[in-house]
Amino acid sequence: MHKTALFLLMTGAAFAQAPTNAHAENAKRIAGTQWLPAYNFFCVAPRANAATDPPIAPAKIFDNLYVIGDSGTVAYALTTRDGILLIDSLPANQTETVLLPGMKALGLDPAQVKLVIVTHGHGDHSGGSFYFQERFGAKVALTSQDWDMLRPTDGKGKAQANAPQRDVIAVEGTPLTLGEVSVTPVLTPGHTPGSLGLIFPVKDGGLTHVAGLFGGTLLLPARPDVPTIQTYLASIAHFKEAALRMKVDVELQNHPLMDAIEARLAALKDRKAGAPHPFVAGAENYGAFLDVMSECLRAQRTDLP
């Protein structure tokens, strides 16, 4: 049996076929060819990331941006004149096996990590951050809501395994800066109460592009209750507004199950001088990616008022 089909069977996810309603049709039309992988994931076969997701070779995507992980979950390293800024940090059990070897392969010195921005308080994004905090004194940033998940304040429950010590609080619209690079956090609750979307500049030769990373993507749409889904849909709209305002033209995910990261990395490897960059989607096109996310969710959650 196909792995996806088996997974859907095991998890009881209900969307082995695209729902046929106006929202699904809308999603397909908006997706076109550019965002077809997103349509196929969100509308047809959403699934969680899995331990069996194939590894991707550590890669340099832009002059100042690197990716490490597997096709289900990745971390990014942004290099600055004052050190390395990590975006997410993979699960704790991959620090020694994936993250550090990946950095080494890319020529990135782990001791130069000064700041880790964790997009939300789940272990597959936060797990590695403790290592950099404890060993190299790196700062770790999360929203206060998601710090409460990782490390609840006294009397409100137990800290998660491998949780970093409470540190920087990421605030909507207040840039987190290292060296010359500023990352703008956009609050996108839904997947967790304090999930973050991030917007930051990346360099390609003499050109600066603006990357958008929606860091709290809901992979299993059947699960949350209706109010949470409504919060999440509002978050997608909020991030779209920020992305349009800040002219986001590069689409990135921390769970790159729906944006053809492997094909884009392969295209990047073969890129001829002066040819378009496969990760640059165009400022006029990024919003459509988010619209596919929300239209597919509306197509599946027919219980929404």
CA dihedral 109, 113, 117, 118 (to 10 degrees): 60
Q: Which is nearer to Zn ion, 122 or 139 (CB)?
A: 122
Size of the site for Zn ion (CB under 5 A): 1
**What are the residues whose beta carbons fall under 8 Å from the beta carbon of 102, sequence distance 6 or more?**
58, 68, 69
In the complex, the smallest distance separating the C-beta of residue 150 from Zn ion, rounded to whole angstroms, is 12
Residue range at the interface with Zn ion (CB under 5 A); choices 110-118, 120-128, 161-169, 271-279: 120-128
Question: Residues with Cβ < 8 Å from 9, sequence gap 6 or more?
Answer: 1
| Stretch touching Zn ion by CB under 5 A, among 41-49, 102-110, 116-124, 274-282 | 116-124
Give the nearest residue (CB) to Zn ion: 122
What gap in Å lies between CA 172 and CA 190, rounded to an integer?
15
Q: Which window, 114-122, 135-143, 146-154, 296-304, contacts Zn ion (CB under 5 A)?
A: 114-122
Torsion of CA 228, 233, 239, 242, to 10 degrees: -120
Q: Binding marks (x or -) toward Zn ion, 63..102, rule CB under 5 A?
A: ----------------------------------------
Pick between residue 64 and residue 253 the one whose CB is nearest to Zn ion.
Answer: 253
Specify the residue, 118 or 280, whose C-beta has the smaller distance to Zn ion.
118
**Of these, 122, 209, 264, 301, which contacts Zn ion (CB under 5 A)?**
122
Contact predicate 235/195, CB 8 Å? yes
Count the residues in the chain.
305
Instruction: Please report, as residue ranges, which positions from 245 to 304 form the binding site for Zn ion (by CB under 5 A).
Output: none
* Piece of 115-123, 164-172, 177-185, 259-267 that binds Zn ion (CB under 5 A): 115-123
Nearer CB in complex with Zn ion: 19/215:
215
Q: Which residues are CB-contacts of 39 (< 8 A; sequence separation ≥ 6)? A: 27, 28, 31, 292, 296
Stretch that binds Zn ion, among 76-84, 119-127, 145-153, 166-174 (CB under 5 A): 119-127
* Residue 216 CB, nearest approach to Zn ion (Å): 7
In three-state secondary structure terms, 232 is helix
Q: Which of 4, 15, 27 is nearest to 222 (CA)?
A: 15
Closer residue to Zn ion in complex, CB, 48/168: 48
Report the SS3 class of residue 295. helix
CB nearer to Zn ion: pick between 122 and 277? 122
Beta bridge partners of 226: none
CA 95, CA 127: separation in Å to the nearest integer? 8
Task: Supply the DSSP symbol for 94.
Answer: G
Residues found near Zn ion in the complex (CB under 5 A): 122
